Amino acid sequence: MKNIAIFASGTGSNAKKIVAHFRDNTAINVALIVSNKPTAKVLDMANDNNIPTLIINRADFYKSTSILDDLEKYQIDFIALAGFLWLIPAYLVKAFPNKMINIHPALLPKYGGKGMYGHHVHKAVCKNKETESGITLHYVNEHYDEGNIIFQATCPIAPTDTPTDIAGNVLKLEHYYFPRILQSLLSDS
Ligand code: GRF
């Protein structure tokens, strides 16, 4: 059995898709949901699905390595960042070499980096009159959105599309591909 931890701090719509995708899988299991926000909706989803949760705080995350003990306790093999905004510290990157991925709602290397998340991304894409956007799944390193790219998928942008329209189309791609790419990476490793 391979155990995934999902790190998420928002609504958790991606996390929910991942949980549903692996629900009946006997080889891959979502074993833990980690969040830095005690009120994040993703935690309700975890509770509804009887998945253990871990709330982390900034001081412990950056000034200790205690999360490694938690990840070991749940025998975590792989980490999926799904709407987790904190930079991942070096000790955690080292502990999960090529075993931690993030999804970004644009076609990296464009529209990435600190502050480029959620609506900020789609607004910038729209402002620049891009004709397409999409998703990037990439390995995580110590820099925002800079790890090696694993997979991208695109969606067209019509001249009349608003940032909200773009966000909706990108989210559809995320929901479809994130669980499937995770499955293929976990089946190969
Ligand atoms: C997604 O757009 C993802 O690309 C980004 O954060 C958002 C999370 O959305 N990293 P949700 O919480 O899964 O709905």
Tens-place pLDDT, residues 18-32: 999 999 999 999 999
Confidence of residue 169 (pLDDT cuts 50, 70, 90): very high
Asked if the peptide bond before residue 109 counts as cis, ω within 30 degrees of 0, the response is yes
Residue with tokens 């110590």: 142
Average pLDDT, the chain: 97
CA angle 62, 108, 92 (to 5 degrees): 20
d(CA 44, CA 121) in angstroms, rounded, equals 27
Two tokens at 140?
Answer: 């995580």
Tens-place pLDDT, residues 84-125: 999 999 999 999 999 999 999 999 999 999 999 999 999 999
Q: What is the DSSP string of 13-38?
A: HHHHHHHHHHTT-SSEEEEEEEES-T
Reply yes or no on whether 104 is catalytic. Answer: yes
Q: Is 162 exposed, middle or buried (0-12, 13-18, 19+ CB in 10 A)?
A: exposed
Nearest CA to ligand 1 atom 3: 83
d(CA 174, CA 179) in angstroms, rounded, equals 9
Q: Name the residue of 171, 175, 182 whose CB sits within 8 Å of the most ligand 1 atoms, as the mutation to test its pocket.
A: 171
Report residues whose beta carbon is within 6 angstroms of any ligand 1 atom. Answer: 8, 10-15, 82-83, 103-105, 174
Tell me the domains of the chain and their CATH numbers. 2-188 (3.40.50.170)
Model pTM score = 0.96
